Structure 1
Amino acid sequence: MAFPDVLQRGDDFLSEYPRNSKIWKAFSYGTCVFTIGMSKLILKSLYNVELNHFHELEHAIDRSHKEERGLMTIMNHMSVVDDPFIWAVFPWRTYKNLQNMRWCLGADNVCFTNKYVGTYFSLGQVLATKRFGTGPFQGSIEAMIRLVSPIESCPSSDNFSPTFKIAKPAWIHVYPEGFVLQLNPPFSNSMRYFKWGITRVLLESTKAPIVVPIFTTGFEKVAPEDTAESYSRFLPNNIGADIKVTVGKPIDDKVIEEYRQEWNTLVEKYTDPRNPTDLSDELKYGKDAQELRSKVANMLREHVANIRHEKCNFPKEDERFKSPTWWKRFTVTEGDSDPDVKFIGKNWAIRRLQKFLADRDNEDDINTKKNNDNEGK
């Protein structure tokens, strides 16, 4: 079930840029095509690219159009060039029009550092996402829910007055780990745990999206994390390396609907009658809701991990890597809890390494002081 207030906040987030404008749409399509074209030039000239089982994604795209359903692709996050290079691997026929261009999430401190960079990424259908403390209840996630929700199935309510126009439910692409992960052997090509934002899209959209898992290797060779703080970050590395993209089968709709039914049961139980158009605190932070989101996140991760093991012939992952608790302890201790696990480069999930947070914290302190001063007047 989707709440009108959630859809409205998502609609408002999408409307922050003039995305309904024909001029914006033309520039948006041009930006996407140009970026994909440049990425194709680099990949085809310098690397050996292998694409497997693309027909699974192509059929899913066709189904999403015929069934008026959103499409959600989920993928491991090995490199800062995963996006846009992943789109250069697929054939040009995939991108017939703007409707066939994916939407995705991008960290606001990386992709939206100023209005010029932010405009470029917005034209490229990237939504600004805040990390470190904001969590899954933020505008970009609710915009994703709005994008995959067919307008005709949206609840009729005075609380939801859509202004963002979209012809059909969209294609969204997510990296549920939230951060790039590159580990030294024997843990190469492993994954972090999947975060909860993606589960909100699956559970709270008005109609279940088609979900397609993807696993990639090789992009970490193009941009290894040990070059992150040097000039070579901006140059192609390891020329001639192999890049492999493997598309999995769409997740069974019956599996997804079972989870959505669990969510609907919780909605019936925990909706606040005083505010029935929005998520209650229990549906946000309650134990039952959190356990359901964890189950869904684990299920989605397992589908990507199965491609890694069964299609790409990697040995099964270390069992520790499935656990959010393990990752949080490992990150808080900056690796001291499990010294056998070594990062290539840095673990960017460590708060201390994110310089932008100091500015944000200072801004929060200033705003808090202003609010306190205003309250005292």
Structure 2
Amino acid sequence: SASGGPLECNVTVTVTVVRLRIVFLIKFDVNINIYSHTSGNMNSKPPSMNGVAAAAAGAQPLIQYNIDWIFPKLRKPSRLWHIASTGVIGLVGFFSKIVIVWLNKARVHNIEVLENLLENRPKGTPLLTVSNHHSCFDDPGMWGLLKLRNVCNHNVIRWSMAAHDICFTNKYHSLFFMYGKCIPVVRGAGVYQPAIDLCIEKLKLGHWVHVFPEGKVNMTKEDLRFKWGVGRIIYETPVLPIIVPIWHIGMETVLPNEPPYYLRLGKKLTYNFGKPIDLNSVMERLRASPVSEEEARKIITDKIQEEMMVLKEETERLHFDYIKSS
């Protein structure tokens, strides 16, 4: 894949009376490969997993900031974590709604699919959302479309993986993103690493997990092959998650991937929430056949990508009609 330089996104927001400086520190490497299975030995479990540093050993760069302490706190959140998370999720959720819904022109299709699942799915039923990734502001931005009682509720809002070398570079940034229900993922460490393990654990508990299967900000909008991390998450979750695909267009116009890096207003955005992807027959066939874990991950991932490409075409037509009608 093509290499690129770091991209820094600093967002400064001024609110009446209170000046809030929210720094996302999105020093985004355009070659980030969160769920890569192409470098190193990604087809088998490593002999040992002594924290994330062990997962990134070998040819991968050394982790400058030790993030091993984060996983126990995310695995068994304390009362303090819940209090802090309530504040961070509420602030970021409300900020996202201001930017996407009030300051830009979002046309939203079928969001009731996700809203209904957030509020009415049976207790203990895991929920997995997958979407394209075109901007540093995709998450948390698109969750601003949800009702306030959902987007600002830390018990409801998603768990999501975030690059360790972008969001977890020191204690204070780590605390902020940790309280925002972000899980540090090590690029190049493959599908067997603590971040993906924790996503599976959260789904086992019936939580909502969001994944960007492209594994990076897709600045060229080409049809990238989805990474197998999403396949492992689905395959190893005992209860098949409800899988909701999302495609959005225009987020890179709100927070561009080229300088100057600041939020824009008045942009036309289209969001399309698809019907849940039915993988029951696929999973039954995989469970009944002697396929390897690697094959299973690939089959599941390919099916997710196939459904996402259908949703992409539909969303492009909806966005074209939106632009044409105005």
Q: TM-score, normalised by structure 2?
A: 0.72
Is residue 2:216 matched to residue 1:179? yes
Is residue 2:321 matched to residue 1:295? no
Is residue 2:269 matched to residue 1:243? yes
Letter in 2 for 1:303: E
The Cα offsets for residues 295-324 of structure 1, whole Å up to 9 and x where unpaired, read as 111111111111111243289xxxxxxxxx
The change in CA–CA distance for 1:194 and 1:260 in structure 2 (over 3 A counts) is same
- After TM superposition, give the deviation of residue 260 of structure 1 in Å: 5.2
Is residue 2:60 matched to residue 1:60? no
| Overall identity of the aligned pairs, in % | 27
Please state whether the residue corresponding to 2:165 is helix, strand or coil: helix
- After TM superposition, give the deviation of residue 293 of structure 1 in Å: 1.4
Work out the CA distance in 2 between the residues paired with 1:112 and 1:260.
Answer: 37
The change in CA–CA distance for 1:290 and 1:17 in structure 2 (over 3 A counts) is closer
- 1:148 pairs, out of 188, 199, 203, with 203
- After TM superposition, give the deviation of residue 251 of structure 1 in Å: 1.0
Work out the CA distance in 2 between the residues paired with 1:77 and 1:295.
Answer: 22
**Equivalences for residues 350-361 of structure 1 within 5 A:** none
**Equivalences for residues 112-261 of structure 1 within 5 A:** 112-132=168-188, 134-150=189-205, 169-183=206-220, 189-227=221-259, 232-233=260-261, 235-237=262-264, 239-258=265-284, 261=287
Work out the CA distance in 1 between the residues paired with 2:211 and 2:286.
Answer: 19
Please state whether the residue corresponding to 1:213 is helix, strand or coil: strand
Please state whether the residue corresponding to 1:207 is helix, strand or coil: coil
CA RMSD of aligned residues (A): 2.8
The change in CA–CA distance for 1:214 and 1:262 in structure 2 (over 3 A counts) is farther
- After TM superposition, give the deviation of residue 222 of structure 1 in Å: 1.4
- After TM superposition, give the deviation of residue 22 of structure 1 in Å: 1.4
Which protein has the larger Cα radius of gyration, Structure 1 or Structure 2? 1
Q: Which structure is higher in helix share?
A: 1
Please state whether the residue corresponding to 1:214 is helix, strand or coil: strand
Q: TM-score, normalised by structure 1?
A: 0.62
- Structure 2 residue aligned with 1:35: 92
Structure 2 unaligned regions, length at least 5: 1-47, 53-68, 320-326
- Structure 2 residue aligned with 1:276: none
Work out the CA distance in 1 between the residues paired with 2:84 and 2:177.
Answer: 12
The Cα offsets for residues 126-169 of structure 1, whole Å up to 9 and x where unpaired, read as 0000113x11110000000111114xxxxxxxxxxxxxxxxxx1
Work out the CA distance in 1 between the residues paired with 2:152 and 2:138.
Answer: 22
Please state whether the residue corresponding to 1:211 is helix, strand or coil: strand
The Cα offsets for residues 99-138 of structure 1, whole Å up to 9 and x where unpaired, read as 2110000001111111111110000000000113x11110
Please state whether the residue corresponding to 2:258 is helix, strand or coil: helix
- After TM superposition, give the deviation of residue 96 of structure 1 in Å: 6.9
Work out the CA distance in 2 between the residues paired with 1:92 and 1:62.
Answer: 12
**Equivalences for residues 331-346 of structure 1 within 5 A:** none
Work out the CA distance in 1 between the residues paired with 2:198 and 2:103.
Answer: 36
- After TM superposition, give the deviation of residue 242 of structure 1 in Å: 0.6
